[in-house]
Amino acid sequence: MSEILICKSCKSAFGGDRQSTVNCPDCKGSLLPLQVSTDDWRSFSNEQKESIKEKFLDDLKKSEGSLSPYHVMESYMKNMDKNIQTIKNIMVFFTVLWGILALIFILSIG
């Protein structure tokens, strides 16, 4: 779905898809979904567009302490990835350890 994405750094707005468009073409900052469709955006005047952008950025500043569900999910997924990597490393460690112990046991019997 095409929607309007806004850059928090340079305040530019772009049409795109949040799965494929993640960085601002102007300043390379991260883009946030403005939650306005491109069709609706085209129907607004320049003054309305500026008003919507300013309201969004003001609300974003007010809620910096409390993250949006999108950012909470992103953080959750990053933490989950770290946890999966840790579990994987632990499993590899114990697999190698048991292999070494089995080899030692086999060699001590023979």
pLDDT digit string, tens, across residues 18-59: 667 677 878 888 888 888 888 888 888 889 888 888 888 888
pTM confidence score: 0.52
Do residues 7 and 34 touch, judged by C-beta distance below 8 A? no
Which of 73 and 105 is assigned the larger pLDDT? 105
Residue 10: phi and psi, rounded to 5, are -105, -5
Do residues 5 and 31 touch, judged by C-beta distance below 8 A? yes
